[in-house]
Chains A and B, each alone.
Chain A
Amino acid sequence: MSNADLLGVFEQLILMALLHLKDNAYGVTVRREVEQRTGRRVSIGAVYATLDRLEKKGYVSSFQGDPRPERGGRAKRFFRIERTGTVALRHSLQTVRNMSKGLKLAFK
């Protein structure tokens, strides 16, 4: 895997959210998952822009669900992590672990 395949931090967060959410990953739940687990506010634009980029790279795929009344009759767009996405995520996390190995970070 080349250096160009290293994921950004937000891309990692989104992919991990997809893994947590399994079959229920769409805009609202992905955003909520990242917000709850990181404690930072995330815009819907950031979520979709990142999901779109990951889909273009082939790391995630998406499909339309059925229209729902609580969404004003609009359909959900569900996202699913692909095998290449899992590999890229594992590689990125391993890289971070390798870099941090041996460092004595003062967490107080």
Chain B
Amino acid sequence: MTSSDDSQHRGDDDPFRSARAAHWIADLVVPRRLRENVWGDLREEYAARFDHTMPRGHASRWLLRELLAATPRFVVGRLSTEISLRTWLTILTSTSIGIALAYVESRPTWDDMGVLVAGIVFSAAAMGWVGSGFPWLIALAVGAWIPLHDVVVHGGHRLWRSSLPLSVPTPGPSCGAC
């Protein structure tokens, strides 16, 4: 079957067409090689369980519930089968760098945000370049420790400020991985 035939089958009557949030979750958590199978299964199940005349919002909510319930298993499965040893080592190194940067940032004598941000961006980009894939996980491993430290020690009073480093490394590994 050609791709044009596929798109005809996935035409306007697709109850999941407008379910952007569910598509986003599926892209994020469902392993790539399973995505088409899972999506096809959910579509078939929806058609078997519910009336097609139901509002589209109903399909979106049902799909979201199904995907959220399945998310932990998909994530565990994805991490165990898709992450290579090299990426695990990169995540471990990224975590060490992230903790070191959070330690430096927590020192009362440290007041050089520019150097810290540069350190986060460069280390995240380098880790993204070394590791093969999962840039979002590397970004989290590098950038999550400063806001986490803030929540644990200061009760999250400066969370908006300390969360900035979390957003800083996000493009880093993606660029590095390119």
Contact = CB atoms under 8 A, between A and B. Distances in A.
A28 interface: yes
B69 A56 contact: no
Interface in B34-93: 34, 36-45, 47-48, 66, 69-74, 76-77, 81
B60 to A, nearest CB: 15
A43 B10 contact: no
B70 A74 contact: no
A71 B76 contact: no
A71 B9 CA distance: 8
B12 to A, nearest CB: 11
B44 A44 contact: no
B109 interface: no
B1 interface: yes
A1 to B, nearest CB: 23
Interface in A52-81: 52-53, 56, 66-77
B30 to A, nearest CB: 8
A52 B37 CA distance: 12
A71 B44 contact: yes
A45 B70 contact: yes
Contact of B39 (A45, A67, A68, A72): A72
B5 interface: yes
A22 B71 CA distance: 28
A48 B6 contact: no
B40 to A, nearest CB: 3
A96 interface: no
A45 B77 contact: yes
Which of A27, A43, A69, A72 is the most central at the interface, judged by chain B CB atoms within 10 Å of its CB? A72
Contacts of A53: 77
Q: Which of B31, B41, B43, B71 has the most CB of A within 10 A?
A: B41
Interface in A65-103: 66-77
A48 B5 contact: no
Contacts of A49: 73-74, 76-77
B17 to A, nearest CB: 9
A44 B42 contact: yes
Interface string A35-55: 000000001111011001100
Given A46-B70, A49-B74, A73-B1, A67 B37 contact: no
17 contacts: A28-B41, A31-B45, A45-B77, A48-B73, A48-B74, A49-B73, A49-B74, A49-B77, A66-B1, A69-B9, A70-B43, A71-B40, A71-B41, A72-B14, A72-B39, A73-B6, A73-B7
Interface of A: 26-28, 31, 43-46, 48-49, 52-53, 56, 66-77
